[in-house]
């Protein structure tokens, strides 16, 4: 039997940040991770200023890994046919980062372990029962865990919340079709975004000499458009800027579809449970705020849980939840601004559904 104060299910940025905050407050924390799936990450990046946040929670060594690449700007074709570039050299917060997510997540978990947390690796929940003041958890290997609180940090799937009947509300039906290209000859050292009639594209260099190219569109539009790989290639050929910038590439790999909708839970904590990261609120990838927000609010969740465990008072959790929903409202206002700024295809389904009433 493993006894701990808090069991965090999910070993990504939000779960690790919550674990670090709890460990600093002296609580016994176990972090449960599943066996990592063989997948190609979607070219995730950190905006300027996020480095200081990560350093304050995990230490300065995390972003020093040679697998992560500095990003020096973004460029977009949005609202017109022209590239508009934002150079990070003029940003007082400095450069951004392009991450090797598998290395990044592994290093975060190692920091949790070094801080005194326990890792329960390659496991998921088999059964979950609530008692008066604790949870009894059985893993897929039939290990037994007893904890006072359980945190769902399993991403959009919300595997713990599904067991508890906590429903998710999706604000759209966005999905990302990811392709990975071999080579980086002359690749722009940042993220490129181009709006098209069916949605929008982005491309970002990846570690190990690859480049990710993704089409963001709606699931319903994909189903009506025939074979998905043929759709991806044909729509890429029609781009004004993205495809010409990739002319030197000869080989591509279609990595698959990934959910990209904005979604949230009706409440983010309850009796002995809380949600972190995408399990709580998932943001549109256009904002590039998913990882940074997950780390910030994951760390704040850990501190709020610590306050509650110390004082048996949920005031800090209430404040954390209010602020998280406020971030969602601000995100929606910013997203509406960007949708309004793109007016070239007002009658196309993707854009028509996003026009303000």
- Answer whether residue 145 is part of any domain: yes
Half-sphere exposure of 313 (CA within 13 A, CB side): 6
Q: What pLDDT score does 187 carry?
A: 66
Question: Pick the residue with more confidence: 251 or 147?
Answer: 147
Contacts of residue 90, Cβ cutoff 8 Å, sequence gap at least 6: none
User: Averaged over 117-141, what is the pLDDT?
Assistant: 93
- Answer whether residue 75 is part of any domain: no
List, in sequence order, the alpha helices (H) in 3-100. Answer: 13-24, 50-58
Number of other CB atoms surrounding residue 39 within 10 Å:
12
Q: What is the model's pTM? A: 0.93
| Domain CATH number, residue 303 | 3.50.50.60
Q: State how far the Cα of 108 lies from the Cα of 281, in Å rounded to an integer.
A: 21
Lookup: tokens for 249: 């590439």
- Answer whether residue 18 is part of any domain: yes
259-276 tens-digit pLDDT? 999 999 999 999 999 999
- Answer whether residue 94 is part of any domain: no
Q: Read out DSSP for 256-277?
A: EEEE---EEES-SEETTEEE-G
Q: For residue 251, is pLDDT > 80?
A: no
289-343 tens-digit pLDDT? 889 999 999 999 999 999 998 877 799 999 999 999 999 999 999 999 999 999 9
Q: For residue 190, is pLDDT > 90?
A: no
Q: For residue 240, is pLDDT > 60?
A: yes
Q: What pLDDT score does 211 carry?
A: 87
Q: What pLDDT score does 169 carry?
A: 96
- Answer whether residue 248 is part of any domain: no
Q: State how far the Cα of 36 lies from the Cα of 54, in Å rounded to an integer.
A: 22
Instruction: Write down the mean pLDDT value for the chain.
Output: 90
The burial of 92, by beta-carbon neighbours within 10 Å (0-12 exposed, 13-18 middle, 19 or more buried), is given as exposed
Lookup: tokens for 293: 């927000």
Quick check: 88 and 95 in contact, CB under 8 A? yes
Q: How far is CA 313 from the centre of its chain?
A: 30
- Answer whether residue 211 is part of any domain: no
Number of domains the chain is built from: 1
Q: Domain containing 105: what range?
A: 2-62+100-170+263-334
- Answer whether residue 251 is part of any domain: no
Question: In percent, how much of the chain has pLDDT > 90?
Answer: 63
Q: Read out DSSP for 195-234?
A: EETTEEEEEEEETTTEEEEEEEEEHHHHHTSS-HHHHHHH
């Amino acid at each position: 039997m493993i006894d701990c104060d808090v069991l965090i299910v999910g070993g990504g940025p939000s779960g690790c940040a919550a674990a670090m905050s709890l460990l600093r407050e002296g609580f016994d924390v176990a972090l449960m991770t599943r066996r990592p799936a063989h997948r190609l990450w979607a070219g995730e990046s950190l905006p300027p200023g996020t480095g200081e946040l990560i350093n304050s929670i995990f230490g300065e060594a995390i972003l020093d890994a040679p697998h992560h690449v500095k990003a020096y700007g973004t460029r977009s074709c949005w609202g017109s046919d022209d590239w508009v570039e934002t150079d990070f050299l003029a940003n007082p917060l400095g450069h951004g980062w392009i991450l090797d997510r598998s290395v990044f997540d592994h290093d975060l978990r190692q920091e949790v372990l070094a801080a005194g947390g326990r890792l329960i690796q390659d496991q998921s929940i088999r059964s979950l029962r609530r008692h008066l003041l604790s949870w009894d958890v059985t893993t897929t290997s039939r290990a037994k865990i007893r904890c006072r609180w359980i945190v769902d940090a399993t991403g959009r799937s919300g595997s713990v919340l599904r067991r508890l009947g906590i429903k998710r509300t999706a604000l759209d039906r966005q999905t990302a079709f990811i392709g990975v290209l071999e080579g980086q000859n002359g690749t722009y050292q940042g993220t490129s975004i181009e709006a098209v009639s069916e949605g929008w594209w982005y491309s970002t260099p990846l570690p190990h000499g690859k480049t990710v190219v993704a089409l963001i569109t709606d699931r319903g539009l994909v189903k009506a458009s025939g074979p998905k790989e043929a759709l991806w290639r044909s729509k890429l050929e029609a781009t004004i800027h993205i495809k010409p910038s990739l002319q030197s590439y000869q080989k591509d790999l279609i990595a698959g579809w990934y959910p990209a909708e904005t979604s949230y839970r009706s409440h983010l904590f309850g009796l002995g449970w809380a949600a972190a990261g995408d399990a709580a609120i998932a943001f549109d990838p256009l904002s590039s705020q998913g990882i940074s927000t997950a780390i910030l609010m994951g760390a704040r969740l850990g501190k709020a849980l610590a306050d509650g465990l110390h004082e048996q008072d949920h005031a800090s959790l209430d404040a954390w939840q209010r602020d998280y929903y406020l971030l969602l409202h601000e995100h929606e206002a910013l997203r509406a601004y960007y949708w309004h700024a793109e007016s070239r295809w007002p009658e196309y389904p993707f854009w028509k559904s996003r026009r303000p009433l």
